[in-house]
Structure 1
Amino acid sequence: MADVDALPEVPPGAEDNAAPKADSAAVEAEVDLSMFDLSKKKKKKKKKVKTEGDDEAGGGDGEDREEGEGRYNYETLLERIQNLLHVNNPELAERSRITLKPPQLMRMGTRKTLWANFQDICQLMKRQPEHVFSFVVAELGTEGSIDGNQRLVLRGKYVPKYIESLLRKYIVEYVTCQMCRSPNTTLTRDPVSRLFFVHCQDCGSSRSVAPIRSGFHAQTRADRRALRNAVK
């Protein structure tokens, strides 16, 4: 008979121990895989429900609200308000501006300056010429008058750029609304407190303004002569 290689002897109980090791390895693999299962932690997307009447109220496309919350975001509400303004009140949606003509100045002799379009600028600002005159004279620290043609005559020599800076200062203080920045305002004086108030015709706000105070005025020879004549 041919020799048959002897098989290696298997220790008793080795087969029984091998099966549990394989099973435990499979269990460990299942445990490791289950640790990376993130299906339970995924967030569900919220469904958006388009409300009825958005298009009619100016909502337009994309103006939805989240289901169950009943709240709109800020951008959606702002866009709806702007659309309603354009539809119902187009004059409020557009910012009004005042286009002033540059002051037309010319020399009168050697010591005076004539402001030719003074009346036109006062009408564009919707302000009384007397109030604008008081402001200009107080800021310049000089004297002046309004002639029969509603032109302003100032004592001294002035350039248009300097007068333009005074107009900007006057508009900020006595014309522009501080709430909505609209120039569509009126200036009235309270009969009791004798204070001036700026009333906005667009947003309805009202504010008091500072009274016009005259600045430093150097006394000239003509002033001293007039004072002596008044004493006599």
Structure 2
Amino acid sequence: MTLKIIAPQNFGMEEEAPLPTPPQDSGSAPEPQPEGAAADEVAAMFDLSKKKKKKKKKKKDDDEQGDDAPSAASSGSKCTYTYDELLERINDILHDKNPELSEKRRQTIKPPQMMRIGTRKTVWTNFQEICKSMKRNPEHVFQFVVSELGTEGSIDGKQQLVLRGRLYPKYIESLLRKYIVEYVTCQMCRAANTTLTRDQVSRLFFVHCQDCGSSRCVAQIRAGFHAQTRAERRALRK
């Protein structure tokens, strides 16, 4: 036997209107968005535009800080440089402002030209020209050559050096190299642009470099071994 439940019916009573259901929190139904002036008021209320601008400003500030970082490092007081970096910067500045100082000039000197006179004498024909290229007094070069060779010589009217004995150009060339190392070349920068002066007080010779400004004292020329001839011995006996 089955039972049926019959819902009660309203006899003569009006049906009540259904109550409005509260809004659900589910995200399925989209919320209505204000339009026009209402949208502007909502944006002003929650300051949405300000939030967006704040993000852009922060990014811009980060970019400015990143740009200022190398400038602060280059300017500043907290940055340190190594010796090699400072030396490279100095060389770059010198090369930009004074390119002549950074480039080495090579000075060439003609080889000595020798000519024989008879069987006992030799003439150095371009002696005066070589002295001018070295910027040295011919008398000083003459004293050096005579003392190193241990012979006699003189400078004739044509400014040629006349030496006693048979001398070959290669031997004079090696002697000239020795003079350049001792009395011409600067020992600091290896330049040949130097001057030779004599101090009036100490009577010493000094080599002054025109490129780097250094100076050094050089030894005086001393006479070498000199063999006396028969004529000199006879003169001493008298």
TM-score (norm 1): 0.68
Paired AA for residue 167 in structure 2: Y
Match in the other structure for 1:211: 220
Note the 1:115-194 alignment, pairs <5 A.
115-194=124-203
8 Å Cα contact 1:98-1:125 kept in structure 2: no
- CA deviations 1:133-174 (Å, max 9, x no partner) are 000000000000001111000001111111111111111111
**Structure 1 stretches lacking a partner, 5+ long:** 1-48, 53-63
Bigger Rg, structure 1 or 2: 2
Say whether 1:196 aligns with 2:196. no
Match in the other structure for 2:236: 227
Q: C-alpha separation between the residues in 2 aligned to 1:109 and 1:226?
A: 26
Match in the other structure for 1:75: 84
Paired AA for residue 83 in structure 1: D
Paired AA for residue 177 in structure 1: C
How many matched pairs? 171
Q: C-alpha separation between the residues in 2 aligned to 1:68 and 1:170?
A: 51
Aligned to 2:177, the other structure's residue is in SS state: helix
**Structure 2 stretches lacking a partner, 5+ long:** 1-68
Paired AA for residue 70 in structure 2: K
Aligned to 2:158, the other structure's residue is in SS state: coil
Q: C-alpha separation between the residues in 1 aligned to 2:79 and 2:231?
A: 77
Paired AA for residue 215 in structure 1: G
8 Å Cα contact 1:184-1:202 kept in structure 2: yes
Note the 1:107-122 alignment, pairs <5 A.
107-122=116-131
Q: C-alpha separation between the residues in 2 aligned to 1:88 and 1:161?
A: 43
Q: C-alpha separation between the residues in 2 aligned to 1:146 and 1:51?
A: 68
8 Å Cα contact 1:100-1:124 kept in structure 2: yes
Deviation for aligned residue 1:72: 1.6
Q: Out of 66, 70, 87, which is 1:50 matched to? A: 70
Q: Which runs of 4+ in 1 moved over 4 A?
A: none
Paired AA for residue 183 in structure 1: A
- CA deviations 1:35-90 (Å, max 9, x no partner) are xxxxxxxxxxxxxx5348xxxxxxxxxxx87x985112333222221221112222
Aligned to 1:170, the other structure's residue is in SS state: helix
Q: Quick one: percent identity of the two aligned structures?
A: 72
Q: C-alpha separation between the residues in 1 aligned to 2:162 and 2:77?
A: 71
Match in the other structure for 1:85: 94
TM-score (norm 2): 0.66
Alpha carbons of 1:51 and 1:74: their partners in 2 closer, same or farther (altered >3 Å)?
A: farther
Deviation for aligned residue 1:182: 1.1
